[in-house]
């Protein structure tokens, strides 16, 4: 019973809409909020962390300062601060030579002359000769591509995980019952025979006909059935379960049953509560069960209708017996569940 309750609870809470909302929330939180609206902001960064354009401006400032002071040691020390981890002096030479060309192209010959003077005074290695292209992408070119591939791979894994979870939840649940102990009488042969499931196409859209009986001593009573279309498509579940003892002074007695219908295309599970005559007359009992669903006093021959977005269940009480004159607890309750797909 506990395992069936857990599976049913998960099915109630994890729907297709919840899974879609989870994926959308993850995408919005990671990409929109994390990378666009509120990206990480760096503070107290080193000069080596500056972007290329800012490094060029800083090198121009060093060249201007050197042109005024002529202090080559100070200029060389300032240039060294611009080197990122893994960079060499030849990278500084290349960056200064590129800055000279860009200043000449922009018509700023005086600035280009000062940068050239800094390059000569800094005692840096000569600018390396460009190597012919080998057709291999550089690390800078590969970085955005690798990031995109990583994001796509992550989203595919996430989608596969959600699909696997939904597939597991749609598997047919097994009806498990508590095994009687040596000190208890065994009701299993009778109960299993009474729970025989028959299905015949009574009308168009008919998906299930189930008969089940509760008898005194069946403490683990929880009859649940999977609903499938003629093509084998999972439609939902239905069932009837004994609720825990809630009537004061009646230990180990069942006074209420929960009728339920789960539709995979509906966000809610339709439930109705069958109460014994004595329990229905007890205001405290009705108040404690009011949040579980509509309260109904059980009567023999009565038909209770439960409807969801696509399913309808007609639950008929075919047999009803109480275990005392007070009619407070059930001795026997037989129900017939007919389910239609609308």
pLDDT score at 142: 57
Provide block-wise average pLDDT over 10 residues at a time, the chain (342 residues). Answer: 59 68 76 69 72 85 86 86 82 86 88 86 74 52 69 78 69 44 41 41 74 86 90 91 68 85 89 90 87 91 93 94 83 94 83
Per-domain residue ranges of the chain = 19-40+140-169, 47-121, 187-341
pLDDT score at 204: 65
pLDDT score at 211: 95
pLDDT score at 36: 67
In three-state form (DSSP H/G/I as H, E/B as E, the rest C), the secondary structure along the chain is CHHHHHHHHHHHHCCHHHHHHHHHHHHHHHHHHHHHHCCCCCCCCCHHHCCHHHHHHHHHHHHHHHHHHCCHHHHHHHHHCCCCCCCCHHHHHHHHHHHHHHHHHCCCHHHHHHHHHHHHHCCCCCCCCCCCCCCCCCHHHHHHHHHHHHHHHHHHHHHHHHHHHHHHHCCCCCCCCCCCCCCCCCCHHHHHHHCCEECCCCCCCEEEEEEEEEECCCCCCEEEEEEECCCCCEEEEEEEEECCCCCCCCCCCCCEEEEEEEECCCCCEEEEEEECHHHHHCHHHHHHHHHHCEEEECCCCCEEEEECCCEEEEEEEEEEEECCCCCCCEEEEEEEEEEEEC
């Amino acid at each position: 019973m506990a395992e069936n309750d857990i599976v049913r609870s998960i099915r109630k809470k994890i729907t297709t809409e919840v899974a879609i909302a989870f994926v959308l929330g993850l995408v919005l939180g990671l990409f929109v909020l994390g990378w666009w609206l509120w990206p990480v902001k760096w503070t107290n960064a080193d000069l080596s962390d500056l972007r290329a354009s800012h490094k060029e401006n800083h090198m121009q400032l060093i060249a201007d300062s050197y042109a005024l002071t002529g202090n080559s040691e100070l200029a060389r020390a300032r240039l060294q601060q611009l080197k990122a981890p893994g960079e060499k002096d030849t990278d500084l030479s290349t960056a200064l030579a590129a800055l000279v060309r860009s200043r000449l192209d922009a018509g700023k010959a005086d600035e280009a002359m000062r940068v050239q003077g800094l390059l000569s005074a800094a005692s840096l290695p000569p600018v390396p000769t460009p190597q012919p292209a080998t057709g291999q992408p550089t690390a800078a070119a590969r970085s955005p591509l690798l990031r995109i591939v990583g994001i796509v791979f992550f989203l595919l894994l996430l989608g596969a995980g959600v699909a696997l979870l939904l597939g597991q939840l749609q598997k047919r649940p097994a009806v498990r019952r508590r095994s009687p102990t040596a000190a208890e009488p065994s009701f299993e042969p009778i109960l299993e025979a009474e729970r025989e499931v028959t299905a015949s196409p009574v009308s168009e859209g008919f998906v299930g006909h189930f008969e089940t009986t509760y008898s005194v001593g069946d403490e683990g009573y929880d009859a649940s059935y999977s609903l499938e279309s003629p093509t084998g498509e999972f439609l939902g579940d239905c069932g009837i379960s004994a609720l825990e003892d809630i009537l004061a002074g009646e230990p180990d007695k069942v006074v209420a049953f929960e009728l339920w219908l789960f539709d995979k295309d509906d966000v809610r599970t339709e439930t109705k509560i069958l109460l014994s005559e004595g329990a229905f007359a007890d205001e405290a009992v009705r108040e404690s069960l009011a949040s579980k669903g509509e309260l109904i006093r059980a009567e023999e021959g009565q038909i209770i209708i439960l409807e969801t977005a696509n399913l309808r269940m007609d639950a008929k009480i075919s047999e009803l017996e109480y275990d005392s004159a007070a009619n407070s607890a059930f001795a026997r309750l037989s129900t017939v569940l007919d389910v239609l797909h609308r």
